Each structure stands twice: as C-alpha cells, then as structure tokens.
Structure 1
C-alpha cells in the first residue's frame, strides 16, 4: 500500500470516529416539572359536570354572542398577529434544522479579453471559463445543533400556546363586554320603568292636591326624584354605546359598526357553572401554563447548546472545479480539494463558561415563572368559583326582594290614595324598588361575567356532556 493511501485511510478513520461521536448531546435533558397541585379544587360543590369538547360560549345560549365570537375570530388583528408569530417561529425551526445539514453551492464564471501589441497594433482575443461546486458540513459532535433545534421546536410550540392564549383572552373579552352591555341595557330598562312609575305617583300627588288632601311639598319631592332618574338616562346610554364600540373593535370593525345590531336590548345570558375536574388537568388545558412550560423547555435546551461551544468543533469542506479557455478543454484539468478543519477552544477569558451560566440562570427564571403561572391558574379557578357561588345566592335573594319591594310600593300607593299615609312613604318605597331592581340586573350580569372568568380560568373549550342537564343556576 502506498504511503499516500495509508494517510488517506487514517483520515477516513478519524472522520468515521468523529461521525460516531456526533450522537453525543451535552447539557441537561429536559424533564417536565412535576404537577405539584392539590388533588381537587375546594369550591367544586354545586358545579355542573361538563366535558372539554366544544366551544364554551355556546353554553350561554345566546345567538348574538355566538355571532360576535365568530366575527372576532375571523377579523381581530391580534389573532392575525399571533398567527404571524407562529409562522415566524416555524420558519426559525426550519432554519435551525437546516443548520445541521451539509451545505452545497455551485458557481461559474467567464472572462473575455483583447490585447494589442505595437508597432502594428495587432489584436488578440482570449477567453477563460470556470465552473464548480463547493461543499461544507460542520459535524454536530456535541449536540449544539440538535439542542438549538430542540429549543427552536419548543419556541414554535410556545408561539402556538401564546396564540391560543390570545384567542382565549379575546373571546373572554368579547363575552364579558357583551354581558356588561346587556347589564347596562337592563339598567336602562329599570331606569325607564322607574321614571314611568314615578310619573304615575306624581300624577296621584297632583290629584290629591287638587282634591284638597295633598300638599305642594309632596309634588316637589316627587318631581325631584323624577328628575334624578331622568338625569341618569344619558349616562347609561353613553355607557351602552361605549360597550358597543368596544365589541365592534374586538370584531375588527369600526367603533360604531355594530350599533344597529346591538342597540336593541336583550336578556343577560345565564350559563352553567362547570365542574373543573382535577387541578392536574388544568395544567394541560391552559395555554398560558403550556406556554410557560415550553419556555422552560427551550431554556434548558439552550444550556446544552451553550455547553457545546466549550468543546472542539469539526467541519469538513471540499471543492470540485473545472476550467479552460474553451468548451473543448474545460474538462481537461478538473481540480478536487478536501479539507477537514478542527477548531479547539483554548482561551476566551471565561466567555463560554459565562454563556453557560447565563443560560442556566435564564432556565431557572423560566422554572420559577412556570410555577408562578401554575399558582395563578389555580387561584383564578378558586376565585371564580367562589365569586359565582356567592353571586348566585345574592341574585336569588334579590329576586325575592324585588317581589317584596313591588308589594310595598303597591301598598304604599294604595294607602296614600286613601289618605292613610303620607307621600314620603310612597317615595321611599319607590326608591327601594328601583335600587333592588338595579342591583338584581347587576348581580345577574356579574354572575355571568364570573362564569365566563371561570371558563377562561379553566382554559376554555368546555361544553355540556351528553345527557347532562345545564339549567342556569
């Protein structure tokens, strides 16, 4: 065997050994944090079993709300931006994956020249052409590229989770704003009814005064209460328009685009209280928890990528080219070159070690951030269940109070008409009825808003299971 052949064999063996080492990954292997959560939620009593199968807003049984949700999902610019972020993250993943592949480039050039010689200025022309390929490949000895791809994949999943979170937040805002609008419109109806009843009471006071049984003071007192109620009209109407403007923009339209659709009053949606199942399921449903977990996974992968920078790197490169002055002789002298290159870090002033420490610190930050998000998720579920439970009791009590307050008004008006009581008793009874009706409307709206908050806290995507009764509680 020739000496040159032996040298080539040694080189090939060294390259083969390097390729075998290419399966090594330095750095910590990622493990999902344990589900350190309670076995059950404390506020599950009184909930209605539901399954995480289809959109949660359908449980509110409001066609107008369903249409608003569809508009928002179709045209809201924040969702469009979130999709663009996903596309960017996926492109970054593809770029990282391509970084570990051999690179091949092709090139060609041609030149043409003419020279002149004296004294006869004889001209001579010449041409020269070159074509070839060059290839390079950095072997992933220590898993730097693989760790980078792992981090890029986690970031792509992070972008998807953040898009889900943006969508969940948007739909929660649509539902909450819509319920607030219906609550405001209920307050407007209460205000209109109060004005009508107060006018009737004032007419009664005028008739009694005309009959010699009343007084001018009673008429002034009734007029004052009537003016107070009338003064609330523009405030309530402005509040309703502001909410309509908000719903329009959430749907990606001009502020007043939905005024014709939403100006007619409608009932306040009443939804069921879903059973939150077990806290561990929450960690798999909530997009913000998934996003925090993926952020941690990416951080751990980048530790390995930084550690790989401390070790030697091996790259292979080669070229193949042909050249000549004409097409006939261009293949006469092909040129081939192969050059492995080994780079060994020696001194860097501690920069590579510092880079590893930075990545470790960033991963630790992500670990604590994940735990914070988990605790926040658990708290939001418990808070929403507590709020819904208390508001349900409050609403039910107010329903009975409204019936009683109406009886007091009717009785006071009858007694005043018969001269058995003064007009102040009628005004007090009317004021109490107004306050109770308004409180009931606000309690119904507040309860539904907390039901929406509970669905959002549970990660969305909930609806009743087959055969489950979902009466509004």
Structure 2
C-alpha cells in the first residue's frame, strides 16, 4: 500500500508536466476607428435584443417569433447546443473517479464443499489519473464547443429574424408599388377611353388612339406582373412562418405603408471602436470558441501519445448459502494500479496529433477571416446608409418635380395644348420616380436590417437556448 500510495503521489506530481495546448486567442489587428461615414445622428444606445418590438410593428414581431419557432435552422442549432451540453457533461464526468453499484449471483460447487448459492453486492470504483492533463483538456474542449454552439444558435435566430423582416418589408413595398401601378393603369385607361371617343368623333388620328390603347395595355401587363410578385412574396411568408394563408393575408392587409427608415435609425448605434462592436457578433464569438476547442484538441491528441495511469478498487458484501448454513463476509481491494503505454498504432496517434494541429491552424485562419469580414460588413452598411441618406433628398425633389410636370402636361393635354406623346413621356417619368422612391425606401430598410445583423442582433453569450416550444 505504501508503494502504491507513492506511485499515486508521483503521478499527481507528474500532472504538473501536462501537455500545453497552443494559444486559444490569436491577436488579429483591427482598425482603431471606422473608415466609413459615421451613423446618422449616431443612433440611440438601445438593446438590440428587443429591437424588433421597439419598431412599433406588432405584426412583424409576431411573424419573427413564429418563423424562429418553426425554423429548421434554429432547431438544428438548438440540437447542436444540446449535443454539446451532453458532450461537456460526459467529459466532465469522465475526468473524475467513476463509481458503480454492482451485484452478482451464481450457483456453484467447489471441491470438498456442498452445492450452494453465492450472491454479492457492493461498489466498484475506477479512476483514470489525469497525468498529462488529457482529461482537463477534454473538459475545456467540450466547454468551448458548447460556447460555440450557443453562439451558433443565436446567429441562426438573428438570420431568421432578418430574413423574415426583409420578406415582410418587401411585401409591404410590393403592395405600395401595386397601388402606384394600379393608379397609373387607371390613368392610362382613362386616356385611352378618351382617345377612343375622340377618334370616333373624327377629332383624333387613329395612330394617336392606337398609342393610347398600347399604353393602357402596357400598364395592364405591369399591373398583372406586380400582382404576381406580391402573391409570390405572400406564399414565401406562409412557408417561412407556417401561418395559414387566409389569416396571414388578413394580418398583412391591415396596412400597406412602409415604415419610416428613420425609426430604425433612432434605435441603432455603432460604437466608435470597431473592436467593441465586433465582440457582440455571434459569429465572431463562435469562431473564437471553435479556435479554443481546436487548441484544446491539440492538447488531447498530444497527451494520447504518453502513458496513461489508472487505479481501480472495489468493496463487496458477499453471502454464500449451502445446506449446511449461510456465510456472510466482506471483500475489498485497492488496485490494480495500471500503467499503459501504446506501443503499436503510434503512427495513427501521431497522425491524429498532426490532424488536430491542422484543425487548430485552420480555426485560427477562420477566426481571423471572421473578424475581417465582420468589420467589412459594418463598414459596408455605414457606407450604404450614408449614400442612401443623400439619395433620399434628391429623390424627394425628383418625385415632386416629375409630379408637377405630369400634372401640368395632363392639364395642357385636356385643353389640346399638348399631344399624347408629351403626356406619355411625362407619365413615364413620374411612374419611374414614384417607383424609384419606393425602391429607395425599401433599400434603406433592408440596409438598416443588414446593419442590425452586422452588429450581432443583441448577442449575449450568457443567454442559453430556450427550451423547445410547440408552435402556436
């Protein structure tokens, strides 16, 4: 026992020589300030977690919740979290002593003894001593993998929310465009009817009347195309949210106006230091945790090349029954203390260590690339928002001017001071300006949504995935 105790103490001291994994946090230089234009008004420091609810559109918030509850990608990410949590629990359990309850029963006859029954019950223990730190590295690796899974779950939720919002705003913009197209078609039809009456009265040339009818037919085609586009978007929203189409159509029919992009601007802020902004992105957190897991994996693979030490023991309560009577006694053991060193198959262990090192290097490059991509996405959003802000003012002036020109040309056409070609040209310019205004507003909304995603969507590494809930 004294020798065994000395071996155990020596093994514990050897634990100080544990295999050291490579660094799990690489230094990737980030810019000290943004090179893109600053956010208009610098926004407002608000929680991105409740950002959708703060926009004042309960329909959008409900649709996002439905889409997340029914999303296959979110469910898959939640399953990965559960698997990572189970792996962590298993690694943590395997790192410590193992204790099991055992029981046995047998019927036997030994030489010189009568036939009897032997039963026993007790405890059996084992402990794989962590001489080189392999078990501890396995626990740290599993913990990092769970952190990466948590970040991946949040990233999936943010992407589903953004997809739902883009589709929702796109459908609303489509309906606004539909109203513009319908109004244009009605105006062209009135002009065509008027030209037809004038032609039959002999006051308008047939070619002029044909131009009016062709213009009306062209408007009817655009109206049908716009209607089809809106219907297809509605079908896509039904597939995304899982809501019945009649109910969704009724909810979306409550309003057709697009929200003011400034409302989003007032609820987003971008910090002056890029590093502070980038830390709140789930993909960056996931890449960093994956790098940590890969680093610990190198330690696990290297430790497998060294000897392993294990200790086992047991305590049993035994009873032996024969026709002559019953005998009860206890047995216990400490040991054996086993030292194991793989002699064959070391080529495979070395290859596994090399593979772990390659995975670590790949994870390091992926982490650095994720950081650079995160900075680029924020800066692209800032550049786009700055340009759109300037376009908005010019677009308002263009819409006002083309509308005034069309109204004047239409008035002149009615009294015979302008021909149909002039009217159609003014109408085309006004239609393009109106459609462009809607497209510009939708682009602004989508860019704000893109900035929300680029800022991480309210990622909090302390928040764990919600339990599975049945969709309502």
TM-score of Structure 1 vs Structure 2, range by shorter chain = 0.7 to 0.9
Structure with the greater alpha carbon radius of gyration: 1
Residues 1:51 and 1:33: Cα distance change in structure 2 (over 3 Å): farther
**Which residue in 1 is equivalent to 2:283?**
288
- Deviation of 1:29 (Å): 5.2
Number of aligned positions between the proteins: 446
**For 1:152-171, what aligned pairs fall within 5 Å after superposition?**
152-171=142-161
Q: Work out whether residues 185 and 265 of structure 1, in 8 Å CA contact, stay in contact via their aligned partners in 2.
A: no
1:260 aligns with 2:237: no
CA RMSD after TM alignment: 2.5
Match of 2:321, SS? Answer: coil
Match in the other structure for 1:67: 62
Out of 359, 380, 389, the position equivalent to 1:392 is: 389
CA distance in 2, matches of 1:330, 1:310: 48
* Contact 1:248/1:256 (<8 A) preserved: no
Say whether 1:87 aligns with 2:90: no
> Whole-Å Cα distance in 1 between the matches of residues 366 and 219 of structure 2?
50
CA–CA distance in 1 between the matches of 2:389 and 2:98?
A: 66
Number of the residue aligned with 1:244:
234
Out of 287, 292, 295, the position equivalent to 1:297 is 292
CA distance in 1, matches of 2:211, 2:160: 47
Could you report, residue by residue, the CA deviation over 1:145-180 in whole angstroms, capped at 9, with x for unpaired residues? Answer: 000110100000000000010011001101111111
**Does the CA contact (< 8 Å) of 1:288 and 1:373 recur in 2?**
yes
Structure-2 residue corresponding to 1:3:
none
**What is the aligned partner in structure 2 of residue 119 from structure 1?**
none
1-structure distance, mates of 2:210, 2:230: 31
1:307 and 2:299 aligned = no
Per-residue deviation, 1:264: 4.8
Aligned to 2:181: 191
Matches for 1:4-153 after TM superposition, within 5 Å: 8-28=1-21, 30-47=23-40, 48-54=42-48, 55-58=50-53, 60-112=55-107, 126-153=116-143
The separation in 1 between residues aligned to 2:135 and 2:420, in whole angstroms, is: 86
Contact 1:35–1:280, Cα closer than 8 Å, also in 2: no
Cα distance in structure 2, aligned partners of 1:113 and 1:318: 25
Aligned match of 1:373: 370
Q: Is the 1:57–1:66 contact (alpha carbons within 8 Å) kept by the matching residues of 2?
A: yes
C-alpha distance in structure 2 between counterparts of 1:283 and 1:21, whole Å: 41
Cα distance, 1:33–1:252 mapped onto 2, change above 3 Å: farther
SS of structure 1 residue aligned to 2:279: helix
> Given the alignment of the two structures, is residue 351 of structure 1 paired with residue 348 of structure 2, yes or no?
yes
Structure 1 regions of 5+ residues with no counterpart? 1-7, 115-123, 463-473
Cα distance change of structure 1 residues 103 and 57 upon mapping to structure 2, 3 Å threshold:
same
Contact 1:106 1:133 in 2 (8 A): yes
Q: 1:281 to 1:252 in 2, by over 3 A?
A: farther
SS of structure 1 residue aligned to 2:328? coil
Please say if 1:433 is aligned against 2:467: no
Instruction: Provide the C-alpha distance between the structure 2 equivalents of 1:405 and 1:336, rounded to a whole number of angstroms.
Output: 97
Moved more, 238-247 or 93-102: 238-247
User: Larger deviation: 22-31 or 242-251?
Assistant: 22-31
Shift of 1:13: 1.7
Which one is further off, 205-214 or 75-84? 205-214
Q: Distance in 1 between matches of 2:53 and 2:34?
A: 24
Alignment correspondent of 1:467: none
Residues 35 and 125 of structure 1: is their aligned pair in 2 closer, same or farther, counting only changes over 3 Å? Answer: closer
Instruction: For 1:406-417, list aligned pairs within 5 A.
Output: 406-417=403-414
1:457 matched residue in structure 2: 454
Distance in structure 1 (CA, Å) of the matches to 2:55 and 2:122: 68
Cα distance in structure 2, aligned partners of 1:373 and 1:52:
25
CA distance in 2, matches of 1:379, 1:254: 39
Query: Which one of the candidate residues 214, 220, 234 is aligned to 1:224?
Result: 214
The aligned runs of 1:436-447 (5 Å cut-off) are 436-447=433-444
- Cα deviation, 1:425-465, whole Å, max 9, x if unaligned, reads 11111121112111111111111111111111111239xxx
Question: Normalising to structure 1: TM-score of the pair?
Answer: 0.87
Q: Please give the secondary structure, in 2, of the residue aligned with 1:304.
A: helix
Q: Distance in 1 between matches of 2:130 and 2:203?
A: 102
Deviations 1:178-205 (A, max 9, x none): 1111111111001111012213323443
The Cα of 1:384 is off from its aligned counterpart by 1.7
**Change in CA separation of 1:46 and 1:26 when aligned onto 2, cut-off 3 Å:** closer
CA positional deviation for 1:349: 4.5
